[in-house]
Each structure stands twice: as structure tokens, then as C-alpha cells.
Structure 1
């Protein structure tokens, strides 16, 4: 009986150890997924994991400065990082990162444009979520600020996603896609914003793109700034691209957005301002690896269009105004509290 009991004890012990090893192997094989398309069954942790937290001086580490000619033909002079910092056009203080245009120089008509900055993230992203906590954005006649995502080359074949963009203080914000051919959006979508053109092809209607105007008037310009800014977020995967906005004083800001959490789950964020599904556009083939771009230009192809500028109630012509009124651009600056990327 003792021998039998010992044998049974040994057998049970072996089964217990092997069972534990098997369970441990199963546990290691269960990797957290990203949203619905990356889940691994009922054990998947929903949402996306924080991979890049950019606050204050982190912007100097995470972004490159592009001292290039403006592709939109603006009245701007993009300067490199060294000059940008020496002119105080980009600086960090505590949890603030500021990017602004020059507000001191009167420009000569045949000289360079108003100094400003254009920065591009060193990292690129495909499936991801971006959350921007923005205290202040550039305002003023002639301004054209943007936060967007784009491939570094071969535009528009890698696609473009505009997160925040507008001109001459004319809100609300618009989120827009720009693509190559054969990418359109359905007229009816589950979003709170208002759809504009449905064809995303840059060759249609002078690169208008397929944009959605946000429902909240304080999503752009002076109204945005008076309210202390807010949060912008984008979720991108091969099934859809969504954009959200929550004003600073909103009671509806998701906890994982407001509290700077290690994970976010956009499934809990409610109806987005803009929804771009893949039903009439193969997002996987039209959108490749994207870098995040932040820039401030003046006038150019959109803000400087004579009819657009006049309809904004702005004085003189765009170029003359930008040349001769540096003091008008004291509020032409971004103030970022944070920029986070989740994958």
C-alpha cells in the first residue's frame, strides 16, 4: 500500500507539474491585441498600448525640423531646429511644447516669408491611435495651421490624414483624407460631423479630399483657445479611420484619454466626429506608414486664395497683411500638453 501510495503521489505530482507548465505556456502565448482586428479570442486585452509619450522637451527628441520650401506655396520660411530655437519659435517649459510663427519682423515684398516651423515625427506608424492634448492653436488672419499624418515620399500614394486643419480662424475643424484614385466614402456614416466631398482622390476638385467638418464650433481657432483647447484623437486600422474631439470643459472626455493611461480603448469613446470606413476604399492599399507632421504656414494655396481670404473677413490681401503686421501673429502658436501614440 505504501508503494502504491507513493506511486500515485508521483503520478499526480507529474500531472500537476505538467499541467502548470502547459498553463504557463498558454499564458505566454496570449498576446494582447489592438482593437477588434488584432484580438486573440476571449483572453485578448482590448484596445491599444502606449508606445510613445511625448511631453515638453520630448518633442525635440521625437521630431525632426524640416527647413524646406513650403509645398503649399505659403508666405512662410520654415527654419531648422537650431534657428527655430534661437528665434524662440519652438521651445519647451515644463509640460508645454510651443511651436509658433514669428511676430516681430516686417517682411520685404521680395524677401523670404514669415519664419515658422514644420516638424515631422522620427517614427512612422500604421495601425495606431494618436491622442493630442492641445492647450492652444494658432489663430489670426492668414494663418494655416495643421496637425496631420503622411508618408515621407510618394505623395499621395501613401495617403494623408488631416487631424486638425483650417485657415483664417474659420471653424469648425475639419478632418480630411487625401489619396490616389479609387477611394471614396459613403454619404451616410455613423459620425457627428458633416461630410463634404466624398471622393478622396487629390486629382478631384483641386485636392479638396474627402473631409468632415466637426459638429463643435470650439474645435478650431479663437473659440478653441478661449475654451482652453481640448483633446483630439485618431484611430487608424485597415477597417476604418476615426477622429474624435473633446473640448477642455467637456464632461464626456473618456477616462483613458483624460488620465494619460497606459492603454486606450476607442470602442468606449462614443460616436466619432469623422468616420472613414473601408467599404468603398481599400484603406490598406491607400494608406501606408505615416509620420506625424505639425506645421504653421501663412497664406498659400488655401488661406491665401483671394475669395477664401475675403470671405473670412480679413483685411487687405493675405500676403500684404502677413508682410506688414507681425503683431497680428502673437497668438499664432501651438501649445501642446502632450502627444501620445498607442499601438
Structure 2
């Protein structure tokens, strides 16, 4: 199709189709190239020398990157990446949970965008470092005739340098690279992340995608700066890319070389000035190693001890994120007078939701330290840093089985949409607790000091109900089944569970029978009446 041209005497050309008008935005899309190595490497020095790259064009999303099998478990390293009219490069890591970087400005020239490298469903930002130079990507990169990107990957860190044309170190030109002589990298990705746990067996990839979840995202296409919606006059990325083929004549790679180097002595310190890299010509066997973390001694608090660590509370695994306020829609308390005095109570409440009320309905929790308020979340979105909050994110069902290895791909007809995380949990045991796997409620005294979590800017609801005693009782199984059949459209089966729990034994008829005391719950009043009528008709009360 004329999209690749390779010879020994001139730079390699890898382009995209710029002649065909795509008749429908529902069609396969504009043809372009993704090319990857057949070999894989763990650690090394990866150097790409480019005269031109596809960036700086609305609708384009090019990248020079590396990728391990069974994404995100073996990691992704984006060396050069951008979209649309962006004029800077962002070097980014993507992993499964338990990987963060420090972003220390003393060790790099770039700016930290985000420190949490973990992928979550609906949230795939990764941990990124932004290059502040306009020549590092897009129109600025192509205007100076390109340059060199170098990525050094060791057990201790992953670093990325960019050298504009005219400023390329002679040791790179002479094919004897020595990173210790290059000065500070643009990106130094190092922190609490154990590199060898998250990055293994990577292929090198070069591609130019169009639109997709980055360049085609509504917020990106309509961004307030460099808006492609304004620049092109098209309301969507797909419509523009389909209708304007000539715009992508400049969406091509011109490549002098891509070379992979490995240490002469793999056991040497990669930062040493005497360390030598050689070109990686000989095939090597890629392997995935396993590093067993030490079993921590239980402490009295999750934060800050377990920050960005996977812990287990009850039967559920969470990633703890201290100083973070996770997004998501609130679902309220596990039951009307659930007591909260600590972040640990919040996490236990999420487990209660998923154990006794509705499976997987609680995806995480945010704890506001100042007023001890919990916000139990149905779905989890972004992870903005906020020192006044601590958060926990449920991970046991959070990973689609996506992989770059055809031998490990899951059939699209599979009934299993998610797989469990492979992270070995570190067990948190609450101080003085005999077990962290069971819940029991013998009696309770609702107090006006308890504050239920509500969306920021909203109001709180205090429970001032009279003291109640809850005792065990037997409820007719067929009655439960019949009432559960009336599950509302929004999936709020948890309110039925709470109603059974408090009214099943009919200890306080006024409390259970007074419908006005139930209208604060987030489900239709008619459903409440239906439940009560079923109790009266089938249970005699």
C-alpha cells in the first residue's frame, strides 16, 4: 500500500494512507502502520534516531514505545508519545497496582504529570513526565529535523533523554553510548515502584494511531488550548480523519536507526562511568522473574505505612492511596448507623457492602481526615492528590485480560470480563482484632456525631434514631427470593438487604413501619411501600 519504504542507503519511511476518503465513521478507519520487534528484552538501552515523526497533526496519535506480554502486568514504557497539536513529549509508564514514581526535580529536567503508574478500568493515565521543550514533539520536533530519544532501563530506574538534532552526544553517534556522560535525563522514573516486578520481556514498537481514547477523546479534541475542534471545524476526531485524507501526508516516520544496547557485564552498576553498553545483536532468552515481597508486620494504621500497597481487608484486596481523593459516585453507608472513627473503618465498610449488600457494588472509598467522613464509591475514576483525604481502591476484579501476546489473548466470546490481580496482598490486621475476615453486629447506638459521606459541597445526614438491639432471626427464604426479584433498575439491591437487617425481627415496629424514616434512602418510595406490603402480607408484620 506504499506505507513502508526501506533501503540501506536512505532513512526508513513508515507512513499512513493520505489518499482515501473513508465513507463512514463506523468503518475500519484510516490505514496506518504498527510495527514491532519479534525479540523481547528485559533491561537495556533503547535509542531511536528520527528525522521526522507523525506528531503535530489533528487526529494523529504516534508513539515510540516498549510493551510486555499480558498488559498491564509486565508493563508499558512510552518513550515518545503525544496527540493532535500537542507540542511536547510525555514519557509515561503503565503498570498494574503498586507502582509509583517520585518525580524528583533534582534528578530530571522534565515536569511530573502524575505519579501513580497503575491502570484501572476507565483510568489509564499512567505516571508521566512532561518535556518542557517545544522541540521534543510535533511541529517543533519536525521543524528542527528531529533528534534522538534514548531510554535506559535497569532494575533501579527507567530514564528517558531527548537530544535535538545538532546536540547529539558523540558516543551515541559512534555507537558506544555512555548514559553517565549525558547529564540529567528528561524523565527519571524511580520511586516506590519495584521495577523488576512490573516490567519484563518488552518488545519495541513504533506506530501511528488515529483518534482512539487519547486523540479522539472529547475533552482532548475540544481542549481549551490547541483545540482541534476549533482548528479543523469538525466536532469529532473520527469525522475529520475520515473526511480529510490529505491532512495526513505529514503523518510519517523517517528513521535513521533504532538500536538496542545491553550491558557488557549485566551485573555492573549501570550508572558507573566505566560501564560499557554493546549493541544487542545476539538472541537472548527473555524470562519473567518473581520477587517475593517481605511479609510486613501489622501496624495500627493503613496510612502512611501501606501507601500505594495492596492490602487485604476481609476477603477483599485494596490498593491504599494516602493523600488522594478518588473520584466516583457515592453509594452511602453500608447500613444506616455504620460507625466510622478511622480510615480503617471506611475500608471495612466497603468490604461489608460487597459481602452483605451487593457484590462488587463498592469499588473503593475515600476518607476525609478532618471530620472522619467516609465516601463509599460505586465506581472509581481519577486520582487527584489531596492531602486531606485517604483512599482505598478495590482491585480484585479490576483487570481486563488484555495482552500483546497472541498466545495469551482472551476470546471476545469469553464470559469472563475481568481477572484477579496477580499482586500478592499484604495483610492488614486491625489492632486488637482477632480476625479481619468477619463482621458481626450485636447492638448499636446511633449517635448524632456520626457523619455519612456525601459528595463534596453537599450536606451530611445525621442518624438520630432511638437505640435498637439487633438479634438473630429466621426469615422465610422464599419471601427473600420474591422480594429480591424487585431489584430496581439502578441495581440498588443493597437497600433491600439493609431493610431486612433492621426490620426482619420487628424489634421496633415504629421504626420499621414508619415509611418517612426510609425516604432518605436512594431508591423509589414506591419500592419501599412494596417491600413493606410484602412483609405485612407474607410475614404477618
Q: TM-score w.r.t. structure 1 length?
A: 0.71
In 1, Cα distance between the equivalents of 2:121 and 2:78? 17
> Secondary structure of the equivalent of 2:31?
strand
1:227 aligns with 2:144: yes
The Cα of 1:203 is off from its aligned counterpart by 1.4
Which residue of the other structure, out of 90, 101, 108, is the alignment partner of 2:16?
101
Q: Deviations over 1:189-218 (max 9, x none)?
A: 410000011000011871100000012111
Task: Give how far 1:264 is off.
Answer: 1.5
Kindly indicate whether the alpha-carbon contact (under 8 Å) linking 2:50 and 2:147 is maintained by their aligned counterparts in 1.
Answer: yes
Q: CA RMSD in A?
A: 1.3
Q: Aligned partners of 2:21, 2:216: CA distance in 1, in Å?
A: 18
The structure having more radius of gyration, on CA atoms, is: 2
Say which SS state the counterpart of residue 264 (structure 1) adopts.
coil
1:329 corresponds, among 248, 257, 265, to 248
Aligned partners of 1:307, 1:234: CA distance in 2, in Å? Answer: 30
Aligned to 1:90: 4
1:338 maps onto 2:252 in alignment: no
- Residue 200 of structure 1 is matched in structure 2 by 117
**CA–CA separation in structure 2 for the residues paired with 1:169 and 1:339:** 25
Contact kept? 1:175, 1:211, Cα under 8 Å? yes
2:185 counterpart of 1:272:
yes
Maintained 8 Å contact 1:169/1:220? no
Query: Displaced runs of 4+ in structure 1, greater than 3 A?
Result: none
CA distance in 1, matches of 2:118, 2:92: 11
C-alpha deviation, 1:111, in angstroms: 2.5
Q: Contact between 2:103 and 2:189, CA under 8 Å: does it hold in 1?
A: no
Match in the other structure for 2:220:
308
Structure 1 residue aligned with 2:50: 134
Q: SS of the residue aligned with 1:196?
A: strand
Show the 5 A alignment for 1:1-343: 87-93=1-7, 94-109=9-24, 110-139=26-55, 140-151=57-68, 153-189=69-105, 190-203=107-120, 206-250=123-167, 253-257=168-172, 259-261=173-175, 263-277=176-190, 279-311=191-223, 312-314=226-228, 315=232, 316=234, 317-343=236-262
- Structure 1, residues 286-311: CA drift from partner, whole Å, max 9, x if none? 11010001111100101001120122
Superposition TM-score, scaled by structure 2 size: 0.45
Give 1:321 deviation, angstroms: 0.5
Unaligned ranges ≥5, structure 2: 263-541
Structure 1 Cα separation of the partners of residues 66 and 137 of structure 2:
18
